[in-house]
Chain A
Amino acid sequence: MKTRIDSVEEITRSFAGQGYICSEQIALAIYLAAQLHKPVLVEGPPGVGKTELAKAAAAFLEAPLIRLQCYEGLDESRALYEWKYGKQLLYTQLLRDKLGGMLADTDSLEASMERLGDLGEAFYSDTFLEPRPLLHALRSDEPAVLLIDEIDKADQEFEAFLLELLSDFQISIPELGTVKARHQPLVLLTSNDQRELSDALKRRCLHLYIPYPTAELEAQIVATRVPDLDVRLREQLVAFIQHLREQDMKKLPAISETLDWARALVLLHADSLEHAQVADTLNLVLKTEQDVSLARELLPAWLRKLGKR
C-alpha cells in the first residue's frame, strides 16, 4: 500500500486517471481518512458512486479491496469468522485410532484428560478457522481497503459489533483472544439512508455525503466514461438529466443511469436529443412507470426550450 500521500490533488488526479471524476470534498475525505486513520461513512442517494469510490481508493492506494456486503440477518459467523466444523469432525474421526494409541498408557481418567487438554487447543487453531471478510482485512499481510457496503441494511446488533473494529481496528474472538490489525485498513462504510445509523457509529467515522453531481461535474464524468458521445449531445443530455432531478420523481436518475443512457445513445448513433428517441429510451433513465409517464409529459416543452437556445 502507498504510505505517503502528498496532497489532496494527488488523489483527485489519480481518481481522474481511473475514470472516477469527483469533487474535491470526496478526495479530501479519502485524504483525511488515510492520514488520520479514521473510517469514512459515505452516504448519499443510490447510484452516485459510493461503492466506486472504494474501488478507486483501493486502486489509488495500491491495496487489495476487501468487500463485505451487508444484508438483514448478517452475523459474525459470515462477517468475521467461522469454525470449519465439518473438518473438525472429519479430523476427529480420522485420528480416532491415533488418539486411542496415545491414551493407551494412561491409567486414570485424570491423566487422559490432561493429555487431551494439551491437544484440545489444536482443534481451535488456524487450521480450522474460516476467515470471513473482516478477519481477512485485519490479518491481511498488507494494509487493505475494507468496504462495508450498505451498512444500513444490516441489523442494529451488527452495527454495534462493528464499533470495536472501527475505533481500535481490533476484534475479540472468544477462542483466539483479541485479534489486532497487522496493518490498519482504510475502512469505508456506505449507507443509503434506509434507516438512521446509531450515534456511536457516526461518532467514530468521518462523514461524507455525496449528493447528485452538479451539471459541470456530471458532464466531466460522462466525457470520461463515454468519450464517444458528441459534445453537444452530452451537454443536452446532462441538462435534461439535471432537469429531471428537479422534478417530483419517485426515483431520481443517478449517475449510473446517465452513463447507461449516454452509452445507449452512442449505440443508436444519435447526434442530438430528439423526441422519439428520448421517449423510447427513457426507461433506461427512469425505473418506474409513473416517472416515465411524467417525463413523457414534460418532454415536448423541454425539447422546445432546448431548440430555442
Chain B
Amino acid sequence: MPTRRLSEFVQALRGAGLRISPDEASQAMDAAALVGYAQRQRFHDALALTLVKQQQDRSAFEETFARFFEAEDPRSDSPQDSASSMPSPAAQPDPASAQTPEAQQAEALLASTPEQLQQRMAEAAAEMDFTQMEVITQQGIYTRRLLMNMGMGAVDDRVLQLDQGSPAQQARAEQLRQWRTRVREQAAAQVRRQFLLHGAGKGRALREQTLRAVPFRDLREFRDVQALVRKMARRLASLHQRRTKTSRRGMLDARRTMVASIRHDGVPAKLFWRRRPPRKTRVMVICDVSSSVSDAARFLLQFLYAMNDVLPRVRSFAFASRFDEITGDFARYSPEVAVGQVLDRLSGSGTDYAEMFRAFQARCERELDAHTTVIILGDARNNYLPDGAETLQAIRRRVKQVWWLNPESRSRWNSGDAVMDRYLPHCRLARQCATLNDLERVVDSLLGALD
C-alpha cells in the first residue's frame, strides 16, 4: 500500500475529529511497514496503537477504518461488487457509423466491459483531488467532473448526434441514455464515498463553529450538540486542571526543605510544601426552567456536570412554578437524561424570583459559606411580583460571590416585567449567556475565579 493511501487515511481520521500530529502519522507508516498489509486485523491494530490516543476516539477510528479500507481494499470483494453494478456494454456497438474521432472514442467507451469501466472510473478519480470537498451540495459538481474525466462527454455528444438520425439510431440513443444513467449513478456513489471520508470532516468543523454561535433555543434541533458540549467541557477541564496544579501551598515538607538547605550551608533558601490543600469551593446553581429559559438551563447543567473532575461539588436547583433540588437526578442519571427528567418534573410558567430566593435560603442557608459560589441562570422576568432583592442580598452576604447569567441580550434585561436592575447590585458578575460560546466563556472565568 503506498504511503499516499495511508496519509489519506490520516486525513480522513482528522476529518472524523481525531487529532493526529505529523509525527504520529509517520509512526503509523513505520508501524504499517513493519507489520505489513497481509493480515488485516494486525494492520488495523498497528494503526490503532499509533493513531488512537484516547479511548473516546476509538469508535470514530473503527468507523473510518472500516469505511476507508473497505471502499478500495484490493483484497476485499467490493471492487467486483461495484464492477458488477456497472452496466454491461451498451447494446449493438456501432463503430462503423462513427466517423469523427470523438464518436469513435464514445463507441470505445460504450463497448467496454464493466471491469474496464470500473478501472476507468478509478483512474479518473485518482486524478481528482477530493480532499477539497467541504459541503454536501458540492457532490453534484464533483460527479460531473468525474464523468468528464472518464470521457463521458464524448458519449453525450454521440447521443445528441444519434438523436438527429434515423428512427433506428434514435432508438439506440434511448438505450445509450439508460446506459449513461447507470454510469452516472456509479459515479455519484463513488463521489459520495469520497465525501464521507474527506468532506464530512471539514463540514463538521464548519458546523461546529456554527453550533457554537447559535442561540440555545434553536440548538436542541441538532443531534450532535451533546458531543460538542462534552468536547468543550473536556477541553476546559484539562486547561484548568493544569492551572490549579501550579499554585501550591500547604504543609511544609521538612525533609525536603532540610535536604535542599544543605547546599546552602543549612540556610533554607527554598521551601518545599508537602501537599496542596483540597479545594473547598462549592458551586450552587439555580436554574430557571420556565419555558423561556429552559434551553439555556439544559446546556448550563450539562456543561457543569460534564466537568465533574474539576468541579466535584456542584449542587443544582431548578425552579419554575416550584423550587426543588435536582442534584440527585444528576447523581443517578447521565446529564442528558437527568436534564430531561428535571424539565418534565418542574417546568411550567409563572416564575416568582422572590419565592425562589426564600426557598433557597430556607433550604441551604446553613451550607452557604465563604467558599460558595452561587450561580443564578434566569431572565429575571418576575411577572410583576415583588422582586425579593433583599433576600438575594442576604444570600450574597454569606457566600463568596453571586453570578447571574441571563439568556437574553443586555438591552432587554429591564424591558417588560424583567427586573435585572434590582438584582445587579448584588451580583459580582452578570453576563449574557445565549450560545455555547458564551457558556464556555462563563465557565472558563468561573474556574478561574474559584482558585
Interface residues of B, Cβ cutoff 8 Å to A = 19, 21, 23-24, 27, 30-31, 34-35, 41-42, 45-46, 48-50, 52-55, 58, 234, 237-238, 241-242, 245-246, 253, 256, 259, 262-263, 274-275, 309
Contacts and interface: CB of A to CB of B under 8 A. Distances in A.
B275 A72 contact: yes
Contacts of B50: 32, 206-207
B245 A203 contact: no
Most buried by B among A28, A29, A89, A196: A28
Given A36-B30, A85-B259, A202 B46 contact: no
A43 interface: yes
B49 A208 contact: yes
Interface residues of A, number: 34
Given A36-B31, A85-B263, A156 B242 contact: yes
Interface string A199-230: 10011011111000000000000000000000
Contacts, number: 78
A111 B246 CA distance: 46
Contact of B45 (A25, A157, A202): A25
A35 interface: yes
A157 B244 CA distance: 12
B309 A203 contact: no
A43 B55 contact: yes
A24 B30 CA distance: 19
A276 B121 CA distance: 69
B53 A207 contact: yes
Given A24-B45, A72-B275, A156 B53 contact: no
Interface string A37-75: 010010100000000000000000000000000001100
A155 B245 CA distance: 7
Contacts of A31: 34-35
A163 interface: no
Nearest to A203: B21
B55 A73 contact: no
B45 A28 contact: yes
Contacts of B24: 203
A299 interface: no
B245 A156 contact: yes
A167 to B, nearest CB: 9
24 contacts: A24-B45, A25-B45, A29-B49, A31-B34, A31-B35, A32-B46, A72-B275, A73-B253, A73-B275, A77-B256, A82-B259, A85-B262, A86-B262, A156-B246, A195-B241, A196-B234, A199-B19, A202-B53, A202-B54, A203-B21, A203-B53, A206-B31, A206-B50, A207-B49
Contacts of A38: 27
Nearest to A195: B241
Given A196-B234, A196-B241, A203-B53, A36 B27 contact: yes
A43 B55 CA distance: 9
B358 to A, nearest CB: 37
Contact of B274 (A24, A35, A73, A155): A73
A195 B239 CA distance: 12
